[in-house]
Structure 1
Amino acid sequence: MSAKHFINDPTHLVNTALHALTITNPSIALDAENKIVYRRPGHTPQVSIISGGGSGHEPSFGAFVGDGLLSAAVAGTIFASPSAEQIRRAIMSRVDSEKGILVTVMNYTGDVLNFGMGVEKAKAAGLKVEMLVVADDVGVGRKAAGKVGRRGIAGTVLVHKIAGALAAKGASLEDVYKVAKLTAENLVSVGASLDHVHVPGRALPDPNSDENLSAEEVEIGMGIHNEAGSGRAKVDLPELVKRMLAQMLDSKDEDRAYLNVNSNEVVLLINNLGGVSVLELGGITAEVVGQLEKTYNVKPIRILAGTYMTSLNGLGFSISILNVVNTNIGGPSMLQLLDAPCEAAGWAAPIRKETWEAKSTQTREGATGAEEEAKESGLKVDSELFKTQLSAGLDRVVAAEADVTKYDTVVGDGDCGIGLKRGAEAVLKLLSDTKLSGDVVLDLSKIVQVVENTMDGTSGALYAIFLNSLTHSLRQQGSGEATPKIWAAALKQASESLSTYTPAQPGDRTLIDALHPFVETLGSSGDLKKAAEASRKGAEGTKGMKASLGRTVYIGGSGFEQVPDPGAWGLSEFFLGLAGIKSTESEYEMV
């Protein structure tokens, strides 16, 4: 693992990399505030295609914005989903919406939730939007993936290319969505890596940790966020490729038999995860092609080898196979769409000289969609008491960051604590700078906006959805004093609303294990302290609980036996502070 970087500040790194895209392709522009790369206006209206996700996967997704490919891409911080607000702005103000919009997202919880919320907000505003979740990775089988399902990895770029070419030809949203979905359903991918990657700005890992791969080991099925795969092995390249192809193509493997290659037309994509030399990638490509023909009698009609979706400077590669099938739309074939010219810096096609000579300076500025001012609800709280209690809960979240980060380092990717702290500090600043009105709906609406703009990833999406629903539920309670009974009823409604966006239930080892007992106990007792204590008990109960959802599903190992779920622990800290219960020393130490 290389921990040396030319740019160690992750925020500066992402922002400057996005700016660089506008330098290398004059047909695209950047909304720097919201990290949206989009096509400059002036082209013929068509179905717009938007994608995105965490940064660190370049050239996906920003460098695939251009004529014949994506219309816009939304970037999060490194390995973390962009916020729903960024996505909403991209959908509603940075692309043409006349002929409809297709939003494509890889199957990661944070991405699905945040993009889903952005899509729903756009639909509510009257836009015609479809969303497609791509899940092509077979590195984790059906049993291990559980409710989460397969991850999305490099095969996603083939969905983008084919859908983008069809949209450029003037196809309807219905046909673009249909062909994109058909492409995704006929894709399988798997990756392998010789090492984890180091994220700029993060502390160096423990060199003695069991998480590190030895010099002889390779991780088969490693994800694009450092997640573990199906296992480690000490194998040479031919044996590694043999195992990877078996995971993709062995019809007898019921846990991974996702695709039946029944066509004479197969597209092969060999993707560099960022740190493999061009020379070595050539050798890998030759090995894969040779084994496909010898073992499976498959001769790809198109072979793409290069850097399409990285994991920073990951020392690995992935293999994707697309089974080319009939689109049944009476237009160009899947292969013709793949071959169609495009103009995007990340795709193997040059920028036309006409584009350089045009020297377009047009941008999309101004309106970002109607911003509704919240109306008074008449539901009142003691503003000073509300501020004091809320601040106590948020202060406790900030103080717990080190513990939450430590737990998330064991069972996740280490960013949960930082994300919670960032959101808590932003709300504390709001409370410090703003005089609360005492109308709980108005005050909570302001807090929700801060959460949406400062918290990303899975936690940010869950909190934003829950708080938006809580605001709506409180408004439905009528006017008067916001009693514990009213809060309990609104919290229960918000919890039920949240369940429509995530399958998480108590026992799945998520923040729901802390939220559910708080809501239920407050409803039955009306006692905030008892509810907070129930939340902490629920969070403590996640220690030793095997995860059914979240990134922990892919990581595996015994870390879940050592520490509680980071998200549940962080939420219980907030509730304890809210109830005025003093902080204690952390009960858990990493083993």
Structure 2
Amino acid sequence: MQTKHFFSDPTHLVLTALNSITVTNPSLALDVQNKIVFRRPDAPRKSKKVSIVTGGGSGHEPAFAGFVGHGLCDAAVAGTVFASPSAEQIRRAAMDRVPTDHGVLIIPNNYTGDVLNFGMATEKSRAAGIRTEFFAMADDVGVGRKKSGKVGRRGIGGAALILKLVGALAEAGGNLDEVYGLAQHVNNNLVSIGTSLEHVHIPGRRVPEGLDTIAPGDAEVGMGIHNEPGSHRAKADLVELVKTMLRSLLDPNDSDRAYVKYTPKDEFVLLINNLGGVSIIELAGITDEVNRQLNSDYKINPVRVIQGTFLSSLDGLGFSISLLKLADTGLGAGKSLLELLDAPAEAVGWSAPISTSTWQNRIDTPVQLKDSNLAEENPSNVKLDPAVVKKVLGAGLKQVIAAEPEVTKFDTIVGDGDCGVGLKRGAEAIQELLDSSSPGLTDDIVNTVNRIVTVVENVMDGTSGAIYAIFLNALAHGLRDQDKGSTLQADTEVWAKALKHSVTALGRYTPAKPGDRTLMDALVPFCDTLYAKKDVHAALNAAKEGTEATKNMKASLGRSVYVGGESEWIGKVPDPGAHGLTEFLAGLANAA
């Protein structure tokens, strides 16, 4: 559980977060005392518009204040973290902070405290003569009918879709009965379920003694947005988790959870909601997995896929899946669920920037990709026996793979610890190419180098991967440049010229030079000495001397620049990249 926060006072945090909404959207205002974000009365607004009032406990941002703005809600009332706002706060919002002449829809999530307080405010508003309707959003299937009992489904991430749709209808001129009816209609066609790898921690609060934690490798399936338990715990394997979650959403034979009936002709909107603590790249991977399984297992190809953080649980390390069946609203042209979903909204919490026309022009057939194989399209006359390549290059690869623990040790001290693993990964991939029999290597050494380049570009990432890729591309060019139309054996002199060309080319893209404590301290001496002496062992000695010299250098480039404790390793630890390269070169030289 993450217990470190930038704020220690949750009350102050809530107020600053609410105020930030008015900073990021100048059409909004904040009633600080009542914690109400609302559309400014002097901001542009359509006449005869139903007002939408929502809200709930804080900690679910961007819900609910983030959904206030043109095309969505008119006001949101915030409680403290995970606690409902009071009935008086909500009454102020419904009666004093939004226009009431064409009615008000009060629409929180379905939690006991919210239902009671928003319901009480609804009755106060009605008693004051204001046409007011109340609806509690309830989309969660995580606990099922038996466990939820009379309380009904909880409201979780799918609430964002309900609010977007009723807000769009109100903006389009729908009357209170239509807007209220749409809320019911959407909820009846909506199912959601969440999962999390850990409970969340409220800033400024001590972790309760005896709090049940989720074991490493497990996930709580159906966990609520306030740390409430779900249906069960399962191994945190994404593929299996998604299968379980989709089964809970779509299995027509699950009488406890089959809230939405559908046929193969029905269309769906898919919403993937971040509970707050999932990285963007992981959320994207989750979306891909959910979409893949919907297509393969249920033959559902969502007509809209929306991904982001809409209703969070502080820094909850989880996500929710929502599926909305696009049932006919009965409201006529321009007011279908899809049209209302695509309608523009100006609220910081709604992020669905893909236009209707882009979705309408969607083509699901795979794009035919063109692949250019420059090596095979442009054969060269520079030759080297493939058996020699496998023997010499293989020896270098074997030695750098064996050196991985030592390179990793050095890089853990002076860098980020990934240099040895990166070199080993690249070496193993190149060795796999050498061992491959289909298609086998030919005696065209330019072709061989180009194939190695492809492996390096696909397997080795980071700065060193880019340097090696640039160097090898230039090496292929340096070899090809010596092709004068007749067969040329790639001897030491040919390699020396090509390597010299590569070093010059590399200098166009990196400022690194010998003395900067990088792999260049080994690479440049090796190439320069080979060019001058045509002796691979003399070149190897130059690389070793360059690497040894890095022990006493202060890094001026690369990640080592940012690593502290320099006095502890100066004179003891060589540059990891230079050391790894020298091990590779030693293997080459000794096998040549």
TM range (shorter): 0.5 to 0.7
Does residue 260 of structure 1 match 2:261?
yes
Deviations along 1:458-483, whole A, 9 cap, x unmatched?
A: xxxxxxxxxxxxxxxxxxxxxxxxxx
Counterpart residue number, 2:220: 219
Give, in angstroms, the shift of residue 261 of structure 1: 2.3
Does residue 95 of structure 1 match 2:93?
no
Q: How does 1:358-437 map to 2 (within 5 A)?
A: none
Partners of 2:211 and 2:93 lie apart in 1 by: 41
Corresponding residue to 1:276 among 272, 275, 278:
278
Partners of 1:19 and 1:146 lie apart in 2 by: 38
Answer whether contact 2:37 2:76 (CA < 8 A) is retained. yes
Answer whether contact 2:200 2:313 (CA < 8 A) is retained. yes
Partners of 1:132 and 1:202 lie apart in 2 by: 32
> Max radius of gyration: which structure?
2
Give, in angstroms, the shift of residue 177 of structure 1: 1.0
Partners of 1:175 and 1:147 lie apart in 2 by: 27
Counterpart residue number, 1:574: none
Does residue 343 of structure 1 match 2:352?
no
Counterpart residue number, 1:114: 117
Answer whether contact 1:80 1:110 (CA < 8 A) is retained. yes
Q: How does 1:312-331 map to 2 (within 5 A)?
A: 312-331=314-333
Counterpart residue number, 1:301: 303
Deviations along 1:303-344, whole A, 9 cap, x unmatched?
A: 000000000000000000000011112242110000000100
Counterpart residue number, 2:245: 244
Does residue 186 of structure 1 match 2:214?
no
Give, in angstroms, the shift of residue 260 of structure 1: 1.0
Counterpart residue number, 1:125: 128
Partners of 1:249 and 1:151 lie apart in 2 by: 18
The one-letter amino acid paired with 1:22 is: T
Partners of 2:31 and 2:324 lie apart in 1 by: 34
Counterpart residue number, 2:7: 7
* Percentage identity across paired residues of the two chains: 59
Deviations along 1:225-248, whole A, 9 cap, x unmatched?
A: 000000111141000000000011
Deviations along 1:276-325, whole A, 9 cap, x unmatched?
A: 00000011000000000111110000000000000000000000000001
Counterpart residue number, 1:173: 176
* Secondary structure at the counterpart of residue 292 of structure 2: helix
Counterpart residue number, 2:145: 142
Counterpart residue number, 1:162: 165
Answer whether contact 2:306 2:352 (CA < 8 A) is retained. no
What are structure 1's unaligned runs of at least 5 residues?
A: 351-591
Counterpart residue number, 1:25: 25
Deviations along 1:165-211, whole A, 9 cap, x unmatched?
A: 111111111111111210111000000000000011211234xx471
Q: How does 1:445-456 map to 2 (within 5 A)?
A: none
Partners of 1:174 and 1:145 lie apart in 2 by: 28
Partners of 1:210 and 1:39 lie apart in 2 by: 40
Counterpart residue number, 1:84: 87
Answer whether contact 2:197 2:236 (CA < 8 A) is retained. no
Counterpart residue number, 1:376: none
Partners of 1:23 and 1:151 lie apart in 2 by: 32
Does residue 39 of structure 1 match 2:39?
yes
Deviations along 1:84-112, whole A, 9 cap, x unmatched?
A: 00000000000011111111111100000
Answer whether contact 1:136 1:153 (CA < 8 A) is retained. yes
Partners of 2:154 and 2:172 lie apart in 1 by: 30
Answer whether contact 2:141 2:191 (CA < 8 A) is retained. yes
Counterpart residue number, 1:66: 69
Partners of 2:79 and 2:208 lie apart in 1 by: 23
Partners of 1:302 and 1:264 lie apart in 2 by: 13
Partners of 1:78 and 1:64 lie apart in 2 by: 18
Does residue 105 of structure 1 match 2:108?
yes
The one-letter amino acid paired with 1:296 is: Y
Deviations along 1:523-548, whole A, 9 cap, x unmatched?
A: xxxxxxxxxxxxxxxxxxxxxxxxxx
The one-letter amino acid paired with 2:138 is: A
* Secondary structure at the counterpart of residue 150 of structure 2: coil
Give, in angstroms, the shift of residue 349 of structure 1: 6.1
The one-letter amino acid paired with 1:26 is: P
* Secondary structure at the counterpart of residue 147 of structure 1: helix
Q: TM-score, normalized by length of structure 1?
A: 0.58
Partners of 2:144 and 2:166 lie apart in 1 by: 27
Deviations along 1:374-396, whole A, 9 cap, x unmatched?
A: xxxxxxxxxxxxxxxxxxxxxxx
Change (3 A) 1:237 1:185: same
The one-letter amino acid paired with 1:253 is: D
Q: TM-score, normalized by length of structure 2?
A: 0.58
* Secondary structure at the counterpart of residue 151 of structure 2: coil
Deviations along 1:117-146, whole A, 9 cap, x unmatched?
A: 000000000000001111100000111111
Deviations along 1:494-548, whole A, 9 cap, x unmatched?
A: xxxxxxxxxxxxxxxxxxxxxxxxxxxxxxxxxxxxxxxxxxxxxxxxxxxxxxx
Give, in angstroms, the shift of residue 264 of structure 1: 2.8
* Secondary structure at the counterpart of residue 105 of structure 1: coil
Counterpart residue number, 1:290: 292
Between Structure 1 and Structure 2, how many residues are aligned? 348
Answer whether contact 1:197 1:226 (CA < 8 A) is retained. yes
Partners of 2:72 and 2:97 lie apart in 1 by: 15
Deviations along 1:259-284, whole A, 9 cap, x unmatched?
A: 11235320000000000000000110
Partners of 2:15 and 2:216 lie apart in 1 by: 34
Following TM superposition, the consecutive aligned residue runs of length 4 or more in structure 1 with deviations greater than 3 angstroms are none
Change (3 A) 1:293 1:349: closer
Change (3 A) 1:95 1:210: closer
Coordinate RMSD, CA, aligned:
1.1
Answer whether contact 1:274 1:311 (CA < 8 A) is retained. yes
Counterpart residue number, 1:481: none
Change (3 A) 1:129 1:210: closer
The one-letter amino acid paired with 1:34 is: N
Partners of 1:234 and 1:345 lie apart in 2 by: 35
